[in-house]
Structure formats: C-alpha cells, structure tokens
Amino acid sequence: MGFTLTYLGLIVLIPLSTLFLKSATLNWTEFFDAVFSARTLAAYRLSFGGSLVGALINVVFGFLVAWVLVRYEFPGRRFIDALVDIPFALPTAVAGIALTAVYSQNGWIGHFLAGYGIKAAFSPLGVVIALTFVGLPFVVRTVQPVLEELEKDVEEAAASLGANRWQTFSKVIFPTLIPAVLTGFALAFSRALGEYGSVVFISGNMPYKTEIVPLLIMTKLEQYEYAQATAIAVVMLTVSFGLLLLINFLQAWSRKQQAMK
C-alpha cells in the first residue's frame, strides 16, 4: 500500500504537478498569447477536428467489424479478430512510416487516390488516416463483448411480434449497445487527441495547415520556449482529464445497463 502510493507519487503525480506549478509562474498575458495565438488555434482545430472525424469513422466501421466478428462465420475470422489489436501493439513510429508509405502519392493506395486528385499523405486527410488507425481497436473491443452477451431470445421475440430485421436491429439491438459505442468513441477520441508518433510522419507538419497540438508542443520545446509549451500542455491535459472522467462515467453506465439485463 505504502509502496503503491510512493511509486505512484514519484513516477506520476510529482512530475505531472510540475507542469501545473510551472504554468502558475506564467502571467496571464503570456498564457493567453501562447494558448490563443493563431498558430495554436489552427493546431487545436486540426487536432480536435481530426480526432473527431477519426473517432466517428471508427464508430461506424468499428461497430461493423465487431458485428461481423461476433455474428458471422467466415474463413480467417479468428485471425482477423486477433489482428484488430495491431494499433495497440505496433509502435507508433512504425505505423507512421507504414501509413505514409501506403498513402503518399507514389504509395500503393496513395497513387490510386492521386488519380482522383485526392492528396492523402501530407494533408489534413493524412492526419485523419493516422488518427483513425490509432483509435481503431477501441470501438471494436468495447462493442464486441456486449454483443456477445446479447441474448438471442429478445431478437426472436421481436421477430415473432412481427418486426422486420431492420426494426429489430434499430429498436432492440442497437439501443443496448449505445453505452459501449459511446465509451469506444470517447476512448478513440482521447487516444487520437494525444497521438504524436504516427501523425508526424504522414502529416507533413506545416504550421497553420497540418500541425497537430502535440507537435506544436514539441516544436516549442525544441526552441526552448518552455513557458509557451507548458501553457498549451496545460490546456490539453485539462481536456484529457475531462475525457477521463467522462469515460469513467460512460463505463459505469455501460456496466449498469449490462447488470440490468
């Protein structure tokens, strides 16, 4: 117990609190200049927007993947199920260069997209691709267990009462999955917001255009502008804490809904 708290304090709490202590030494104008400069605002837009789009893509396709893996039999299903976790296990730098190789103009998919005039790598679209990649397993892994537990007799009851398949899905199956979907969404969004490794390779890192917030913090650190880096980090950290609380709440809700059945 004592060891747990000491170690937690030394590794996590003391280092994190230095960030807030440091930010307390800034005066307000410094803080606002760093946090609301045009370049920072552009970075927020890209980071939040890209994470949101990535997480929404993952809600739609992650749900579909979970559905297909739980409900249907097809060759290679178990193998694919295992590989869904690749974004958890693959180092982000590797993911970054692999995605860049595939989606750049002469890459396997990128040259195909370029034929339609779509620039994937080195554009905001590239950022979205990387952020979708890192969040991919979350929705699948939160929806999958709930879907597995779902009793078939409820669906049979709905069907025997005359509901067609789509009605059964949208009125009976989907509502019970909403907490899990939202949890997965929040996890994917929160992960995407902090992501650095995979994005820096594919985005091109142009200030005002393809620069995400973590990269901006990195740039400020490399220029020894610690005050500005701290100010921006405090904003991001506060958002992360908020998301963490939201996720805890969603998970509790999800468990409660599970227990009610």
Partner 1 sequence: MTKTISEPFWVRALLIGVALVFLGLFLFVPMAAVLAGALKKGVAVYLQSLADPETLASIRLTLLVAAIVVPLNTLFGVAASWAITKFDFHGKNVLLTLIDLPFTVSPVIAGMIFVLLFGAQSVLGAWLIDHGIKIIFAVPGIVLATTFVTFPFVARELIPLMQSQGIEEEEAAMTLGANAWHTFFRVTLPNIKWGLLYGIILCNARAMGEFGAVSVVSGHIRGLTNTMPLQVEILYNEYNFAAAFAVSSLLMMLALVTLAVKQFIEWKSKSVSIRAVFEGSESA
Alpha-carbon span 54 to 138, nearest angstrom: 12
Residue 165 amino acid letter: R
Residue 190 binds partner 1, judged by CB under 8 A: yes
Q: Total residues at the site for partner 1 (CB under 8 A)?
A: 83
- Give the CA angle between residues 186, 187, 188 to the nearest 5°: 90
Instruction: Figure out which of the listed residues 119, 221, 257, 258 binds partner 1, where binding follows CB under 8 A.
Output: 221
Stated length of the chain: 261
Could you say which residues in the range 33-62 bind partner 1, by CB under 8 A? Answer: 61
Instruction: Figure out which of the listed residues 24, 41, 64, 118 binds partner 1, where binding follows CB under 8 A.
Output: 64
Residue 243 binds partner 1, judged by CB under 8 A: yes
Residue 195 binds partner 1, judged by CB under 8 A: yes
- CB 28 to partner 1: min, Å: 20
- CB 58 to partner 1: min, Å: 10
Instruction: Figure out which of the listed residues 34, 229, 231, 250 binds partner 1, where binding follows CB under 8 A.
Output: 229
Is-contact 138 193, C-beta < 8 A? no
Residue 132 binds partner 1, judged by CB under 8 A: yes
Residue 3 binds partner 1, judged by CB under 8 A: yes
User: What is the DSSP track for 61-82?
Assistant: HHHHHHHHHHH---TTHHHHHH
Count other Cβ atoms within 10 Å, centred on residue 208: 12
Could you say which residues in the range 83-122 bind partner 1, by CB under 8 A? Answer: 83-95, 97-99, 101-102, 107-109
Of 32-40, 65-73, 141-149, 174-182: span binding partner 1 (CB under 8 A): 65-73
Instruction: Figure out which of the listed residues 1, 38, 259, 260 binds partner 1, where binding follows CB under 8 A.
Output: 1
| HEC profile of 183-241 | HHHHHHHHHHHHCCHHHHHHHCCCCCCCCCHHHHHHHHHHCCCHHHHHHHHHHHHHHHH
Alpha-carbon span 258 to 176, nearest angstrom: 8
Of 28-36, 38-46, 141-149, 159-167: span binding partner 1 (CB under 8 A): 159-167
Alpha-carbon span 90 to 94, nearest angstrom: 7
Is-contact 232 40, C-beta < 8 A? yes
Instruction: Figure out which of the listed residues 72, 115, 116, 259 binds partner 1, where binding follows CB under 8 A.
Output: 72
- Of 100 and 124, nearer to partner 1 (C-beta) is 100
Instruction: Figure out which of the listed residues 105, 167, 238, 240 binds partner 1, where binding follows CB under 8 A.
Output: 240
Chain-centre distance for alpha carbon 140: 12
Residue 80 binds partner 1, judged by CB under 8 A: yes
Alpha-carbon span 106 to 125, nearest angstrom: 16
Instruction: Figure out which of the listed residues 118, 145, 156, 167 binds partner 1, where binding follows CB under 8 A.
Output: 156
- Of 148 and 156, nearer to partner 1 (C-beta) is 156
